[in-house]
Amino acid sequence: MGLYLEGDVDQWYVKQDNSGIVFILNATTEEKARAIIGKLPAAQSGIMDFQIVGLGPLSPLRTLLSQTTK
């Protein structure tokens, strides 16, 4: 997969109900994520639907880590 080798796709998974694939992208904005997905042949041919969901670090993790380093 070219996007994986280029570093745009970090990970990919199949949903357990086999209803689709989940890509974890290396993108800092929704526009960048859409541009990455737009490179896929299925997106270019219009045969795939997709949803962009922003991800970020788990906020409580920062608190837990600061408590364990004291």
Domain definitions of the chain by residue range: 2-68
What is the Cα–Cα distance from 22 to 10, expressed in whole angstroms?
11
Question: Interior CA angle at 38 toward 33 and 40, to 5°?
Answer: 110
Distance of CA 30 to the CA centre of its chain: 10
* pLDDT (tens digit per residue) in 46-69: 999 999 999 887 777 777 777 665
**Around Cβ 3, how many Cβ atoms within 10 Å?**
17
**6-57 confidence digits (pLDDT tens):** 899 999 999 999 999 999 999 999 999 999 999 999 999 999 999 999 988 7
User: Distance (Å, rounded) from C-alpha 18 to C-alpha 10?
Assistant: 20
